[in-house]
Each structure stands twice: as structure tokens, then as C-alpha cells.
Amino acid sequence: MAQTSTEDRHFQLIDADYFRQDSGPVIRLFGRTDDGKSICCHVAGFEPYFYVNTDDDLEVISERIREKLNLTNKSGKIKKVEVVQRFEPIGYQKTMKPMLKVFTHDPGNVPEIRDDIAEIAGVKAVYEADILFRTRYLIDNDFHGMRWLKGKGKKINPSGYACDEILELFEVKETERKAPADLKYFAFDIECLPEDGNMPTPDRSPIIMISMSFNPVFEGKDTIVLIAKPVDGMDNDVEACADEATLLKRFFEIFRKYDPDVVTGYNSNGFDVPYIAERVKVLNNSGHDIDSAVGRDRRPLSYRKIGTQTMVSIPGRVVVDTLPIIRQQFSLKRYTLRNVSQELLGREKLDVSADEMEEHWNDDGEKLRKFVDYARRDSELALELILELKLLDKYIALSQVSGTIIQDVVSGGQTNMVEQLLLTEFGKHKRVIPSKPDDKTSAERRHLNESLKGGAVLEPKKGLHENVLVLDYKSLYPTIIMAHNLCYTTVVEDGNYNDEDVISSPTGARFVKPDIQKGIVPTVLEKLMAQRSETKRRMKKTTDENEYRVLDATQLALKILLNSFYGYSGYARARLYSLEMASSVTAIGRENISRTEKIICDEIGTVVLREGQAFLKDEVLITPKDRLVDLSVVYGDTDSVFVHCMSPEGREFTEEEFSLEDSELVGKKVASVVTASLPDPMELEFEAVAKRVLLVAKKRYAQWLFEPGPQGWTDKIKVKGLETVRRDWCELTSKMLNQVLEYVLKEGNISKAVEHVRQTVNRVRNLDVQHDAEIMDDLILTKSFSKSASSYKNRQPHLTVVEKLKRRTGVHPPIGERIPFVITAGKGLFVDRAEDPEYVKEHNIQLDVDYYIQKQMLPPVERILGVFGVDVATLDHDSKQKGLFDFTNASKESDNFITKNHEREEKPQVNGSNSQSSLFDF
DNA sequence: GTAAATGCCTAA
DNA sequence: TAAGTTAGGCATTTAC
């Protein structure tokens, strides 16, 4: 005889939602168990609710609510109303006030009831009425996405599910388990025949192939390619289907059978999913019965268009389109699958061009096989991108740390995560949170934000410097918030507070001190920071490579979250917005960096090196054996200062005089002196030393950096803001400039740099596109097509190309796409001469060599070498006229430029009359 | 002719 | 249910 048995299950929480039952809503928790089963757990008994705030008598307001809802026929939809004590969201308050907590029977009724209540006279505000029911459940129970839950319940067997086990839970709690479950990954990609060279549309063009990739394998196979026509002699992972409908049915069958946790594809949200969903509609309308159930609740495949974006969600699973993820995480010039695979995986995409497709499809032999291989490779690549690049690690960690369901982390921004953390902590402190602002409120806030100033950027002392210490503040904005108790909940509006009870920011805003009341944001940040320290501690301890990776993702997630709160506080669409808080953070930051500069230059000024230790001048009596180091701040941006170390005579040190270890001693001494003057937990850190640094402009510099590490010093060249890191310059510029920077920074050899530029210029001057295809690729520029063509006010080269492309092929690139172009020879504006590189290659069109030399190559390099007195005439030196001979002679004398520089006791200046130019005889 | 506006992309 | 923030350099087009 069957008996009710209690089951215990551990599972990692992948998704959550709810469904309605007569007895009330039931939460569903989806996950993968420790023994590899997919599971769905039902939790009954959680009630939807929200808060109502009023300054009137609660009885009166309750009565008005009853009347109003009777009037609109909704009174039966309210389950109960309680009086509770809560704090209002904004501002320091000594005591709570009574508010109404309204419970409803159905989460779906909350919006209409809320709107009714909001209209009632005397109702000041409605709080937390726009929080998804499943989010409310997770927050109130402190359950986090992708963490492990332990559920106790009984097995049930309702219809309408596509997972291994369904449990009705009596009890559920979070457990400590950390190791990730073995998730199942599924990637897919469809092929359709283009129509007369045009993009296929789902109302006309059938799907002819679907390729799928699996990890772990499905029935022993890594990939399966479905093909919508009967054909023999294909590889054994190819399944021939009678027709398109059969193919789609088989696709969904495999999908359900495999039961993946993660569903992925390259641009799958933008193309494949909508296409499949539309084809299913078309076919089913003409008499087919394709069951497109893919959800763990057997919900059919669906998508929603919000603006230009397509949202896809599949209950119980995570949908990850790798294209937007890769866009976000990697700065590349192009995001075609071909380019991304090449750059990030080192793998080639196979290709059958659009105009060859029909021919390949109609073949039954080699050509069809080639087409199949191409299709197969695309889903393989999508899967490889997500697995090899470990794209999900970061999102899993963010979900675990913030609590947000992983799908919302993957497809949403920072707002979701910050709000989940704030809702949790506000709840614990019995404070309510406002609803999302309406468009009018956000517009007002955006207007207010015009007064919000950001970080300070110190004027760089332009030129080349040696022995520059790089000091930066560890998590500057979070530590400012903690140190000054800046919070929505501590800000005081009125003057009824003693000066000793409040902290005033440079903006004049006032916040109560933590001993009066500690802010909620500082509390959250402290918790996150403590977790991060603990995570880093465990990273040092572990020997397990996988655990290390997980911990590293966790600490990175914590860092991202720590740094999200400042931006959120000044975000116009945030539930919690505080211009006072945001401007105080940046104002304190600005004051801090200029104070830091002063301490280093004026108060410290000189550091004394003696027997492996660094001292301040007034800490010791200086003897002749001591070495003195003069300090000056040559640059700084928001949270960093670059400190130049020089001899007391004002010249650069030689190698023998000043080592990396000396730098470190000085750097650490300076950092500790500054830190000692700051409130906890603000901390200035010694990060690295630049043996040489070239400061070009604000936010533009290059360093030859040495960083201390466990295996001693490691060196690298780090470039910020210069053309080598910008994607709107051609590759040739980056390559050339990188080489120039290397010669200048590592060798101090200007001559070599000049020579390299001359050679590159000459190569371009004698450019022959036909015979030098390689350099042609290096001349391609890209720019992002960032808004609808009609909203551009000026003409732009990439728009020219977009228009040409559209005219020629009918294909209109989507907003967000990066458009490649070259500038062709001719007269008039550049914008008229921008052209699609493919078209140029096909038609053998001449490029505007002069444009490339005068506009792409010389200006960036002149900005750098101009510091040493090198001018355009020198760089664009025509070898036939002058010959390299003079120059080569000059360069011999000055190979070791840096030594000469020391002798002259003079630093290079930009275009200055006392620049290095006299060292060379160009 | 030059100054202002526009657009892009980066640093933090 | 779309979207953290400001500071800043630079090239090019457009307005004057």
C-alpha cells in the first residue's frame, strides 16, 4: 500500500515563480539537485502584501479603503489589513509610525488594488506594491539565487511538468553547500534559406536546419544537426526529418528530453528564438500541431519585444544569449560570431555565404555536408564561448551574493541587484521602500542631476617621467559612504541637530553619526566588504583550482556590488534616489584627492631611505648616509595619485640610485601616512611603480608598470585612453602606436620610434590594395551605430555605409552594431567617402592614402613624440628626398635617450622650446 | 575663417 | 520588466 513519505532534497536554486490555486498562490522553486536531478518544489502559504502610508487616522483610511474597493468591486480581493509599525524610506527618523499592511489573495490583483488605494484622499504613499511575488518571497526568506536550499516535502505527480521530480514542500531553508551543481548546457542555432538574397522572414522562409550542442553529452552525442529533408549518407549526428514541421517537433522533443538548465545561442534572443516561435505559429495555423513546450512547466517557447530588445524567458531554466554578454565583457572591434570566435577562442567559423546557400541545400552530397558542418559549428561555438570563457561564473556569483534570480542578473542591470540587497536590509530594519518612480519623477531627477558633480581629475604634468608610484584608494566611494555614514536613512533635512551629532559633507548635506543611527547602505556595504575579505582569505588558502575560480568570481561579484551603490543613489529611475547622498560621495571624493595631493607634496615632500626603511624627514635626523627622495604628484584621477620620485637636485634617479624595492618602500610609507589621516575604512594603497610613464593628457597616458607579486616583480605596458585602446581607430594606428610606446617606455629610444613611424608611413604611402590585402584589413575603422538613423543630427561615416549597405543588400544593421568602414580616395568630405571594406575589396577601389597618413597615423603619434620635440615633418620624412642616413647617425648618438636626459637635468616638455629636440638632428 | 555642436569612446 | 554615475579628449560636421 502506498504511504506518504517525506523526501529530503538539496538543490541549487535556478529559478522561481508562482502559480494560482483556489487556496492561494503557490511559489515554485526550480533547481538541480546534488544527485543531478531537475526539480520543481511547490511552497504554499506565502501571502502577497504591500504597505499604505498616511498621516491621517488609520481607522478612517481603512474605512475609505473599504468603501472605495466596494465601489470598484474589489473588496473581496483583499485578504486582510493589518496595522504595523514602519519607518518611512528617506531621512533619519527617531521612531516608527503606524502604517497599513494590505494582504491580497492573488499577487495578480495587487496593481489594481494599489491604484485604487493610491487615489484615496489622505493616502500619502503606497510602498512595495510593485515587487514581483517571487522576489518578495525570496527576500522575506533571505533565499538567494543559485544558492543551495534544503527542502523537506512529499513527492507529487501533477501533470504539466518537464522535470525529473516535483515536490510539495513542508519546509525549506538555505544550506551552506558551496560546490556548484552539475548544470546541463544546451546551445542551438537555426538555418533558413535567404530569399532572393534578402534576409529570411518567418512568414515565408522555412527553417531548414537546427544544430544543437550539449554539455554534458545527450545520448552519447556532443552535437545533433536536424535537417528538414530526407537524405542519406550524412554523419551519424545528423538526423534527416521529413519536413520542417517534423524537424521542429524533433527539436522540441530533444530539448525536453535533455532538460537543460542553461539554454544558449549566439544572438539567439535577437534571431533564433523569435524565428522559431513565429514559424511554429505559421505552421500550426496551417494545420500542424507542433508542441513547443520548453519550460520546466511545459510552457511553450515565447518571447517579448520591449523596445528594440527581445526578452526570452523559459520557466525553470536560464536563457543566455552569448552575444550581449560578450559585448558587455569584451571590448572588440566587431561582434560577428566569426570575429568573436577568432579573437576569444582562436577558432574558425565555417561559412557558406548567403548566395551559395540554396545551391548547397539542393545538393545531396559534399555541398550539403559542408552546409551541415557550418551549421554544426555555429552551435558548437556558442556553447564553447559560454563554457571556455566561463561566462556564467560571474553571473552565478552575482546571483548568489545579491540574491537576485540568475535570469534577472543575466538579462538585467545593476538596479535589480542593488534593490534586492536594499529591500532585504530595509526589511530587517523595518523600513519600507518606495515604488519605482514614474516618468515625470525620473525626468525631474534627471534635471536635478545636472548639478551632480563627479570625480576630480588632476592636471597631468605632461611628458615622460621615471619612477612614478601609483597609489590608489581601495574602493573609494564605498569607503567614503561607510566612513561618513552616508545613507538615505541618515540624511537630515532640518537644522534641529547638534553639530556633534551630524557629519556635514562639503555640499552642506548633513547625515547623523553612526552612534545615533547607523545607515542601512553603510551596513550593507560593510557586510559585502567583510564577505569579500573572507573570500579573499579563502582564495589564499585553497589548493583546489575549481574552488579558487568560484571564490575569485565571488570576490569580483562583491566588488561589482560594492561599487554599484553610488551610481544607484544618483540614478533617476531608482526606487531610492538621493542627490544629497550622491553629491556628498563625490564631493568628499574630490576633497579627499586634493587633500591627498597636498599631504604628499607639502606635508611629506621628502622621504628618507635608510637601511631598508622609509622615514619622514621629521622622524629622523638626516645623516650623509641617508638617501633623500623628493615627491611630487604628477597626475591623479578620482581615486588615484601618481607620485613622481626624484633626487633632491630635481633630476631623475639612475637605476643604481633607486630600485623597485626603494619605490615600494616609499610607496608604502606614503600610503600609510595618508591612510593614518583618514577615517576608517578609507585606505590609500601602494599599487605599483611605473619605471616610466608618459602623460599625454587627462585620462590619456601610458605606463611601463612594475607590480609586486608573490613571484617578485612583473612588468607590463599599460595604456589608458590613447588610440591603441580605442576602437574607433584603425588597427594600423594601434599597432604602430604600441610599437612606439614600447620603444619610448622600455628602451627610452626615440630614434627607433621615429624610424618605425617613418617605415609605417611609407608602407601606407605605397599602398596597393590588390597586392597588400593584409594592410587593407589594418586600415578598417569601426564605429558603433548607436541610435536610429533619423535621430543623428550630423552626418557620420558609418551612417554613410549603413545607407549604402541598405541600398545594395536591403539589410539594415541593427542599432548597437559596430560598422566597419574605410575612407576611399576622392574629393570633399570624408563622410562622403566612407565605404564598406568588402565592397572596396570586391571592386578594387582606391583608398585615400593621404587621409590615413594625415588623419590616422600622424596625429596620434605626434601627440606622443611631440613631447620629445619630434614634429610631423620628421615623421612624414620622405626617404627619397632626405634619405635615412642623417637620421640614423643622429640616432646612434642618442640611443640611450634617458641617460642624456639625466645629464641635461631637464624633463621633456610638450612642444616646449626647451624640449629634447636639440638632442637629435632630424 | 573660427566656434560651437555633435558623436564616439574611454577613465574612473 | 530597459537603462548605475560624471569627466574628458578628440575628430568631424555644421553654424555663423
- The three state secondary structure string of A405-435 is CHHHHHHCCHHHHHHHHHHHHHHHCCECCCC
Per the structure block, which three cell numbers stand in for A877?
A: 620624412
> Distance (Å) from CA A828 to C1' C15?
19
> Distance (Å) from CA A419 to C1' B5?
38
Cβ neighbours for A577, distance < 8 A, ≥ 6 positions apart = A437, A445, A569, A570, A571
A197 pLDDT band, cuts 50/70/90, is confident
- CA-nearest of A113, A3, A116, A123 to A50 is A113
Q: Is the CB of A154 under 7 A from strand C?
A: no
Query: How high is the pLDDT of residue A891?
Result: 41
- CA-nearest of A445, A426, A429 to A437 is A445
Flag whether pLDDT at A921 surpasses 80.
no
Q: Is the CB of A899 under 7 A from strand C?
A: no
Query: How high is the pLDDT of residue A919?
Result: 29
CA of A473: nucleotide with nearest C1': B12
Question: Across A771-780, A812-821, A909-918, which has the greatest mean pLDDT?
Answer: A812-821
> Distance (Å) from CA A765 to C1' C16?
37
Quick one: which residue's CA is nearest to C6's C1'? A454
Q: Is the distance from CB of A699 to CB of A721 less than 8 angstroms?
A: yes
- What letter represents residue A245's amino acid? A
Quick one: which residue's CA is nearest to C15's C1'? A794
| Bases in strand B with any atom closer than 7 Å to a protein CB | 5-12
Which residues of chain A between 509 and 568 are close to nucleic strand C, CB under 7 A?
563-564, 566-568
CA A291 to chain centre: 37
**How many angstroms separate the CA atoms of A757 and A384, rounded?**
39
Question: Across A695-699, A759-763, A764-768, which has the greatest mean pLDDT?
Answer: A695-699
Q: Is the distance from CB of A458 to CB of A637 less than 8 angstroms?
A: yes
Q: Is the distance from CB of A131 to CB of A123 less than 8 angstroms?
A: no
The rounded percent of chain A whose pLDDT value lies above 70 is: 94
Q: Is the CB of A887 under 7 A from strand C?
A: no
Per the structure block, which three cell numbers stand in for A760?
A: 609605417
Mean pLDDT, chain A, integer: 93
Cβ neighbours for A786, distance < 8 A, ≥ 6 positions apart = A815, A816
Which residues of chain A between 435 and 454 are close to nucleic strand C, CB under 7 A?
436, 449, 452-454
**How many angstroms separate the CA atoms of A800 and A76, rounded?**
61
A922 pLDDT band, cuts 50/70/90, is very low
Query: How high is the pLDDT of residue A287?
Result: 97
User: pLDDT digits over A814-838, tens only?
Assistant: 999 999 999 999 999 999 999 999 9
- CA-nearest of A31, A137, A15, A10 to A406 is A15
A884 pLDDT band, cuts 50/70/90, is very low
| Bases in strand C with any atom closer than 7 Å to a protein CB | 1-14
Query: How high is the pLDDT of residue A914?
Result: 34
Q: Is the distance from CB of A333 to CB of A317 less than 8 angstroms?
A: no
> Distance (Å) from CA A623 to C1' C12?
60
Q: What are residue A642's DSSP bridge partners?
A: A470, A635
> How far is CA A371 from each of CA A356, A374, A457, A888, rounded to the nearest angstrom?
10, 5, 55, 56
Q: Is the distance from CB of A566 to CB of A434 less than 8 angstroms?
A: no
**How many angstroms separate the CA atoms of A463 and A196, rounded?**
58
A900 pLDDT band, cuts 50/70/90, is very low
Which residues of chain A between 407 and 436 are close to nucleic strand C, CB under 7 A?
412-416, 436
CA of A456: nucleotide with nearest C1': C7
- Mean predicted confidence (pLDDT) in A362-373: 95
Per the structure block, which three cell numbers stand in for A813?
A: 544593421
What end-to-end distance do the CA atoms of chain A give, in Å? 101
- CA-nearest of A844, A859, A816 to A729 is A859
- Mean predicted confidence (pLDDT) in A6-19: 96
Q: Is the CB of A579 under 7 A from strand C?
A: no
Q: Is the distance from CB of A712 to CB of A702 less than 8 angstroms?
A: no
Quick one: which residue's CA is nearest to B9's C1'? A726
CA of A698: nucleotide with nearest C1': C8
A354 pLDDT band, cuts 50/70/90, is confident
Query: How high is the pLDDT of residue A774?
Result: 79
Flag whether pLDDT at A413 surpasses 50.
yes
CA of A721: nucleotide with nearest C1': B10
**How many angstroms separate the CA atoms of A812 and A705, rounded?**
44
> Distance (Å) from CA A793 to C1' B5?
9
Q: Is the CB of A354 under 7 A from strand C?
A: no
Residues lining strand B at under 7 Å (Cβ) are: A 331, 454-455, 472, 637-640, 699, 719-721, 725-728, 782-787, 791-794, 796, 798, 818
- Mean predicted confidence (pLDDT) in A719-723: 98
A194 pLDDT band, cuts 50/70/90, is confident
- Mean predicted confidence (pLDDT) in A805-812: 89
Q: What is the pTM of this model?
A: 0.94
**How many angstroms separate the CA atoms of A288 and A796, rounded?**
48
**How many angstroms separate the CA atoms of A694 and A863, rounded?**
11
The lowest-confidence range among A496-500, A644-648, A692-696 is A496-500
Query: How high is the pLDDT of residue A775?
Result: 86
A777 pLDDT band, cuts 50/70/90, is very high
CA of A17: nucleotide with nearest C1': C1
**How many angstroms separate the CA atoms of A193 and A23, rounded?**
51
E-strand spans in A731-881? 781-784, 818-823, 834-835
CA of A407: nucleotide with nearest C1': C1
Q: Is the distance from CB of A819 to CB of A813 less than 8 angstroms?
A: yes
- Mean predicted confidence (pLDDT) in A643-662: 97
> Distance (Å) from CA A173 to C1' C7?
47
Helices A391-402 and A545-562 cross at an angle (nearest 10°) of 60
> Distance (Å) from CA A470 to C1' B3?
38
- CA-nearest of A689, A612, A879 to A766 is A879
Q: Is the CB of A788 under 7 A from strand C?
A: no
Which residues of chain A between 210 and 229 are close to nucleic strand C, CB under 7 A?
none
A3 pLDDT band, cuts 50/70/90, is low
Q: Is the distance from CB of A301 to CB of A277 less than 8 angstroms?
A: yes
Per the structure block, which three cell numbers stand in for A651?
A: 633630476
> Distance (Å) from CA A565 to C1' B10?
22
Query: How high is the pLDDT of residue A128?
Result: 97
> Distance (Å) from CA A867 to C1' C14?
33
The lowest-confidence range among A232-236, A387-391, A442-446, A534-538 is A232-236
> Distance (Å) from CA A411 to C1' C2?
10
The lowest-confidence range among A267-276, A307-316, A765-774 is A765-774
E-strand spans in A55-161? 78-86, 97-104, 123-127, 148-156
Greater pLDDT, A355 or A187: A187
- What letter represents residue A41's amino acid? C
Q: Is the CB of A307 under 7 A from strand C?
A: yes
A878 pLDDT band, cuts 50/70/90, is low
* DSSP character at residue A87: B
Q: Is the CB of A455 under 7 A from strand C?
A: yes
Greater pLDDT, A911 or A793: A793
> Distance (Å) from CA A413 to C1' C4?
8
Flag whether pLDDT at A615 surpasses 80.
yes
Across the beta sheet with A818-823, what order do the strands follow? A781-784, A818-823, A834-835
Q: Is the distance from CB of A228 to CB of A207 less than 8 angstroms?
A: yes
**How many angstroms separate the CA atoms of A329 and A336, rounded?**
15
Q: Is the distance from CB of A564 to CB of A414 less than 8 angstroms?
A: yes
Flag whether pLDDT at A679 surpasses 70.
yes
**How many angstroms separate the CA atoms of A457 and A638, rounded?**
6
CA A221 to chain centre: 34
Which residues of chain A between 473 and 512 are close to nucleic strand C, CB under 7 A?
none
